[in-house]
Amino acid sequence: MTRTSSCHLLNMLAEVPDPRKKKGCRHPLAAMLALTVVGLLCGQRSYTQIAKWARLHPCLRNALGFTAKQTPAASTFHYLYRRLDIDTVEKTLTQWTTQTLASSHISTSDLKGLAIDGKTLGNSHPEDARRTHLLAAVFHELGIRVAECAVSEKSNEIPVSIELLKAFDVAGLVITTDALLTQRKFCQQILEHQADYCLPVKANQKQLYEDIRDLFEPFDETDPPEVEHRRFENLHAEAGAQLQTYTDTEDTKGRITTRTLTASTLLTEHTHWPGLQQVYQYTTHQKSKKTAHVKCHVQYGITSLTPQRASAADLLKLRREHWTIENKLHWIRDAVFQEDASCVPTGVLPQVMAALRNTAISVLRCTRHTKITDALQYLAAKPILAVNLIK
């Protein structure tokens, strides 16, 4: 079991302000937050389970800085966590993540992608059907959540995504999102923060979508593909525009998947979109080896990256890796920690627990663990090792 010296999470948690009065305060807030993270690292899924589990491991009491004879009851977690300033908690965890990544030098990619996407917590606020919706930012290569914000009922992801860019230094990163956030204001904010974007375009941006679709549609559908491609190349040559195409093929899970991305600079001078340098068509063909059934999906998109900085292969990689946020964060929280099955309906409790689950996942990612379930099973047998990961 490896660890990195940069994961001094226990010290960072001490910076979260305690909303309680000092009189009668039996359990330090930092110790309670640390115990929750350690419990999650050992496979416990809620603060109720963690409270019961911690009583079975008295070694955790001294290791995490508790001063009372017993670790806190579940009611103590509930009472305290519902009163926390969630903005301060998120800011502290974001600071820990950025400092850890800066000192560990884990990333090896030249184009560092940052995926932004939302997740609705399944059983939060079940009594009135209001569910907590969180917008998170996750590094592509590492699957580490760096920041997260709640989206209020009276708002949506667009203004919150702009605030998310201010939570940490995004300079030099390439932002990827879903089509909802392909907005002029959001793209302008990305550029002002010295970052770039690689975004899909759908019908919510009608004119932009139609311009890109018309560019890539065949001039004459009766012509063979090679004739159409030669005509498309000649069109770019005449206009002095750049055209790149990249294709990769994957044979897994009983199907052959062919992905092709074609990037063009032909619309750069004709589309008044902030920072736009290339538009692209991303086509996916999936063929079942058993039934020979073929599925085809076409997506269009834009990027502020020039052809010199990002080839068609780079753009294809960025778009594929956007789904890191689903595969390495949201799915882990649902399938491993059973987040959507957890009922914590009061105030900021759902967001506090989501933030601590994110942190537990980040601790494992920072210590080079790719198989989260295996790591949780290993640590469950030796809880003190989980403590060592955050000290």
DSSP string, 90-150: HHHHHHHHHHHHHHH-----SSEEEEEEEEE-TTSSTTTT---EEEEEEETTT--EEEEEE
Domain that holds residue 246: 200-310
Q: Are residues 300 and 215 in the same domain?
A: yes
Q: Looking at the domain assignment, is residue 377 inside a domain? A: yes
Domain boundary among 257, 279, 310: 310
Q: Are residues 305 and 356 in the same domain?
A: no
Q: Are residues 297 and 218 in the same domain?
A: yes
Query: How many CB atoms lie under 10 A from the CB of residue 341?
Result: 11
Q: Are residues 302 and 361 in the same domain?
A: no
Task: List all residues 6 or more positions away from 12 whose beta carbon is below 8 Å from its beta carbon.
Answer: 92, 93, 95, 96
At residue 4, the pLDDT reads 45
Q: Are residues 16 and 66 in the same domain?
A: yes
Q: Looking at the domain assignment, is residue 332 inside a domain? A: no
Phi-psi region of 82 (alpha: psi -120 to 50; beta: other; left: phi over 0): alpha
- The per-residue pLDDT for range 65-101, each reduced to its tens digit, is 999 999 999 999 999 999 999 999 999 999 999 998 8
At residue 162, the pLDDT reads 94
Q: Are residues 281 and 374 in the same domain?
A: no
Q: Looking at the domain assignment, is residue 139 inside a domain? A: no
pTM of the model: 0.90
Long-range contacts (CB closer than 8 Å, 24 or more residues apart) made by 108-111:
108/141, 109/140, 109/141, 111/174, 111/305, 111/309, 111/310, 111/314, 111/317, 111/318
Q: Are residues 283 and 231 in the same domain?
A: yes
* Joined tokens for residue 137: 């930012």
Number of domains in the chain: 2
* Joined tokens for residue 311: 């080839």
Residue 212: phi and psi, rounded to 5, are: -70, -45
At residue 220, the pLDDT reads 64
Q: Looking at the domain assignment, is residue 147 inside a domain? A: no
Rounded Cα gap, residues 167 and 231, in angstroms: 47
Q: Got the DSSP string for 188-225?
A: HHHHHTT-EEEEEE-TTSHHHHHHHHHHHS-S-TTS-H
The letter for the amino acid at 317 is K
At residue 373, the pLDDT reads 94
At residue 128, the pLDDT reads 47
- Asked whether the beta carbons of 137 and 115 are under 8 A apart, the reply is yes
At residue 218, the pLDDT reads 75
Q: Are residues 267 and 356 in the same domain?
A: no
Q: Looking at the domain assignment, is residue 386 inside a domain? A: yes
Regions of the chain where pLDDT drops below 50? 1-6, 126, 128-129
Q: Looking at the domain assignment, is residue 208 inside a domain? A: yes
Rounded Cα gap, residues 115 and 382, in angstroms: 34
Domain containing residue 245: CATH number = 2.20.130.10
Q: Looking at the domain assignment, is residue 78 inside a domain? A: yes
Q: Looking at the domain assignment, is residue 144 inside a domain? A: no
At residue 102, the pLDDT reads 85
Domain boundary among 255, 288, 310: 310
Q: Are residues 304 and 353 in the same domain?
A: no
Residue 98: phi and psi, rounded to 5, are: -65, -40
Q: Are residues 283 and 208 in the same domain?
A: yes
